[in-house]
Structure 1
């Protein structure tokens, strides 16, 4: 069960590396326009915000990877909770599917991690 918890946490971290790359590199690019359903004008006008948001997603990924490498369950739980909250806020403020994409994998990782500690 511990291996599954680590694998799910790694998946969440890799998702956030992907989000970081999309937001920091491909936001104002045809790929980003398609993924985020934005016009080039919308993307250009919000590129600085996306750069900042991408950096925060990178911090979430780094925290999760650090927790896995150092085997710090409390740190792993903290960053998973941060991801869950970010997904809830994104679902409320942007679109509901963000909860499914961001929060659900983190919830599964967190529950698996908690169960594996018993």
Structure 2
């Protein structure tokens, strides 16, 4: 079960690396605009804010990977909790799909971590 938990924690980390790339580097590209449902004008006007969001997602990923490298379950749990809460907030304020992209994977990884 420990291997499954580690795999799920790593998956959540990779999701956040991908979000970092979307928000920091691809925000104004067709791929970035499609992912977030943006017009070219809004994407251009908000690209600095999106890059800041991307950096925060990178910190979440870094924390998860740090916890994995140290085999530190409390650190992994803390960062999974941060991802879960961020996903709930995003789902409530921006898009419901964030619940399934962030909160659900974090909850599943947290459950696997608790059972391991």
Same structural fold, with TM-score higher than 0.5 when normalized by the shorter chain = yes
CA offset at residue 28 of structure 1? 1.0
Matches within 5 A, 1:46-85: 46-85=46-85
Following TM superposition, where does structure 1 have runs of at least 4 consecutive aligned residues deviating by more than 2 angstroms? none
Which residue of 2 is the match for residue 98 of structure 1?
98
CA offset at residue 33 of structure 1? 1.2
C-alpha separation in 1, matches of 2:20 and 2:75: 21
Deviation digits for residues 41-88 of structure 1, max 9, x if unmatched?
010111111000000000000000000000110000000000000000
Q: Look up the SS of the partner of 2:46 in the other structure.
A: helix
C-alpha separation in 2, matches of 1:32 and 1:81: 26
CA offset at residue 36 of structure 1? 1.1
Uncovered stretches (5+) of structure 1, i.e. residues with no partner = none
Which residue of 2 is the match for residue 35 of structure 1?
35
Q: How many residues align?
A: 116
CA offset at residue 22 of structure 1? 0.4
C-alpha separation in 2, matches of 1:79 and 1:15: 13
